[in-house]
Structure formats: C-alpha cells, structure tokens
Amino acid sequence: MAIVALPLELGFGVPSGLGAEAGLATAVVAGAVAAVFGGSSLQVSVRPVS
C-alpha cells in the first residue's frame, strides 16, 4: 500500500504549493492517526482519490 500512497501524497503536496515535504508529512500523520483510531487490525485506510 505504501508504494501507491507515497507518490500520491507527494503529488498532493506539490500542486498545493506547500512542497513535497508537506505531502510526505501528511502521509505520515494520516497513517499514524488511522493506525491509532482504526477499527480493525485488518482494515486498510486510504484517502479518496478522484
């Protein structure tokens, strides 16, 4: 999952004007929040992509 999510998060940071570092930090924070508050150890949480 990280192989797909990492380029996606970097791609969100660059167009927003905040840079790739902001996208990477967002991926780390969002992953940590999902791990702590997730419903199941088998649940996969991803952002909606459209």
> What is the distance between the alpha carbons of residues 24 and 13, in angstroms, rounded to a whole number?
8
Give tens-digit pLDDT for 9-34.
Answer: 777 777 888 888 888 888 888 878 87
Looking at the predicted structure, is the pLDDT value of residue 48 above 80? no
Q: pLDDT band at 43, cuts 50/70/90?
A: low
Q: 48 or 13: which carries more pLDDT confidence?
A: 13
Q: pLDDT band at 47, cuts 50/70/90?
A: low
Residue type, 38: G
pLDDT for position 26: 81
> What is the distance between the alpha carbons of residues 50 and 38, in angstroms, rounded to a whole number?
23
